[in-house]
Chains A and B, each alone.
Chain A
Amino acid sequence: MFERIKHIVIKEFIQLFRDKRSVFFLFVTPVIQLMLFGYVATFDVNSISTAFYDLDTSSESRELERQLTSSGYFAVRYRPSSPLEITDLIERGKALCAIQVNSGFSKDLKRGIPTQIQVIIDGTDSNTAMIAMGYVNTIIARYARENSVSPVTPVISTIDFRTRVWYNPDLRSRNYMVPGVVALIIMLTCLIVTSMSVVRERETGTMEQLMVTPIKPMELMLGKTIPSAVIGLFDMSFITFVGVFWFNVPIKGELYFLVLCTAIYLVPVLGIGLFISTISKTPQQAMMASFFFFQPAILLSGFVTPIENMPRIFQYITYANPLRYFLVILRGIFLKGAGIDVLWPQMATLFTIGVVVLVLSALRFTKRLR
């Protein structure tokens, strides 16, 4: 039995590596994806394009501007000369934020009279807008505190809220994203490799040829999924390597544990790949089905947005998503150094889901072969 499986695996690898395009897909695409995600996928907000409309032009207003810029969050790129210009800048998307300081600002400040500052924020990108608003308010409030001189408006008891950030002290999105990319790429690659390899044989007629040999369905299945699994593990190692050494993502947990968990993750993924191969008659359908599954799986996994923020119904759906558990595991291993003692629930669930999916797919696969 192992002989036959071995030969199928060898054949698969030969087919995969002989086709230049598939080699590209297997090795270059993950790198590209990793690079893209690592550099692009960030919600970190810096250098927000700002328009500073200064009608006071005093040393105080200039000081306020300086504080805004030196925070790193805002980059004053425009100094408009009229409210109309502000409107135009924001409408064109050139400035995300506009701050208007009225004339009389410094005078009021020195006398301790309350004064107003206008802030306009482009809410199109609500995430950035929310963060920007928070920063603006914080900076202006700090400026107010530092400049309150007169006792007319005493700021009595300052409650200083000190925030400390654990696990990702620089709050780099990258550290959060890159481990997730491992899960993403493994799923994408394995789904396509598994489902395509089966469908292609069916289309060219070689499947029929295989079925008249003494080969058993189980052997064929193993022969088709083992190459995907190997490639998946390879991709995982490769991405981890690049993530740690190129992107400086910390990895606090154990490597062997990472490998173990990846292997568990592969079980449901390969099962899904097999399932897709049973419902697709042509490569086109296989591709569509892979995508059909892949997209929601990513979105409803906590990869981009946290599960806690989703409406209840979607949260329930995520319980069936293997990606959800693997992401917790990945982030735990990379960022928190978590071990089996903390992550065993996720591992167990992942394994159970995987076995169920794999068995169902295998049954369906076997039935279709007859």
Chain B
Amino acid sequence: MKLARIKAITRKEFIQIRRDPMSLAMAFLLPLILLFIYGYAVTFDVDRITTVVYDMDKSSLSRELINEFTQSGYFTVVSSINRYEDIDPYLDSNKAKVAIVIPHDFSKRVRTRRDTAIEIILDGANSNTANIAQGYIAAIAQRYSQRMSSGPVVPLIDSRSRVWYNTELKSRNFIIPGLIAVIMTVIIALLTSLTIAKEWDRGTMEQLISTPIKPVELVIGKLVPYFVIGFADTVFVILMSTELFGVPLRGSVSLLLILSSIFLFGGLSMGILISIVGRNQAAASQMAMLSSFLPAFLLSGFIFSISNMPGPLQIITYFVPARYFVTILKGIFLKGSSLKYLIWEAVLLTIYGTAVFLLAVKKFKKRID
């Protein structure tokens, strides 16, 4: 292995990257845009749920109940209706997601300490919102019940809940660390998946394989510049996350950077492998899109929890490197985890990176057929 040849390739790649400012800008712009959107727009925090109220009682008690809902901040009453049939159009046209129906004898029964029932109708189309709304309603119900029973009442069972790591339950803190894995996976794939296929298309690869260059020299030579960019990108994204979005970084920064580097190494090698296997740019780009974005987005545990997936899919996630990186990111950012807790993931990522690198070297044939 000759250092001179590796250096020649690396220098050439750097020059070419420099001369393609659009791709370079994209490599930094895309993460920024994604961070913004995921950080601000994509939120699972559910509030201001549109509600219609059908109050058949119209008493001070029923108004108090409705108040309980609006004061929580979770529900916004958009309209009061006077017929049961009017609920339909509201839910149908998406104008409201919840309807509250209060029976006409509500306050009478409450005052005479008899059981009464309130009907709540939920638009289940978005099951997640419905689920969360149900949780809110249950909490509000309990609170109201307590207030209505005379005298200071301590509930028989007081469940004290404490939330660890993400105490305000901000979905942003939940989303962004995992998002870093998705962003880096995609950027890496976009950058490297075409680099070798491009040379085949242009004809320079034919020239290159007629020289004494060895496959391992070529792969390393192409890895280095993209690693530099990828690492800079990673640092950039981490900085944005902590400074701009206020995501807490409780663990060790150097551990984060080291493990990120290992992940980068694997991802870049995979990109180069794709570029080798897909002999032209069109094929390589399709392969990259399929094998990078989809698994990273869906199967890494980034948004959709792995434990909820059917068995066979869970097994597949073991083969998705982004999965381990997401665990690492969430661990270091939110839990302040040390290497002790992440050793399994670190080892697997290292094995993955090495395996893909060796595969890429092996697959690169210095031949035209």
Contacts and interface: CB of A to CB of B under 8 A. Distances in A.
Indicate whether A and B are direct neighbours in the complex (CB within 8 Å): yes
Contact of A338 (B50, B92, B154, B310): B92
A69 interface: no
Interface string B136-178: 1111011011001110011111111111111101110110000
B16 to A, nearest CB: 12
B44 interface: yes
B120 interface: yes
A114 interface: yes
Interface centre among B157, B198, B310, B331, by most chain A C-beta atoms within 10 angstroms, is B157
B32 to A, nearest CB: 11
A91 B145 contact: no
Contacts of B26: 288, 292
Interface in A338-354: 338, 342
B33 to A, nearest CB: 6
A147 B126 contact: no
B114 interface: yes
Nearest to B140: A161
Contact of A166 (B110, B124, B131, B135): B124
Interface size class, chain A: 35 or more
A314 to B, nearest CB: 4
A32 B126 CA distance: 23
B129 to A, nearest CB: 6
B131 A126 contact: no
B204 interface: no
Contact of A32 (B130, B159, B290, B337): B290
Interface residues of B, number: 112
A39 B174 CA distance: 21
B299 A36 contact: yes
A299 B163 CA distance: 28
B298 to A, nearest CB: 5
A346 B127 CA distance: 22
Closest 9 CB pairs of A and B: A134-B135, A123-B166, A168-B124, A171-B127, A165-B124, A156-B149, A43-B128, A314-B41, A123-B163
Interface of A: 19, 21-22, 25, 29, 32-33, 36-37, 39-47, 49, 90-93, 109, 112, 114-131, 133-138, 140-141, 143-144, 147-148, 153-169, 171-173, 175-176, 192, 196, 200, 203, 282-288, 291-292, 295-296, 299-300, 304-306, 308-311, 314, 328, 331, 335-336, 338, 342
Interface of B: 22-23, 26, 29-30, 33-34, 37-38, 40-48, 50, 91-94, 109-110, 113-132, 134-139, 141-142, 144-145, 148-150, 153-167, 169-171, 173-174, 186, 190, 194, 198, 201, 278, 281-283, 285-290, 293-294, 298-299, 303-305, 307-310, 313, 327, 330-331, 334-335, 337, 341
Given A44-B127, A134-B136, 10 more contacts: A36-B313, A109-B157, A116-B158, A122-B165, A125-B305, A130-B132, A134-B135, A283-B285, A287-B285, A308-B50
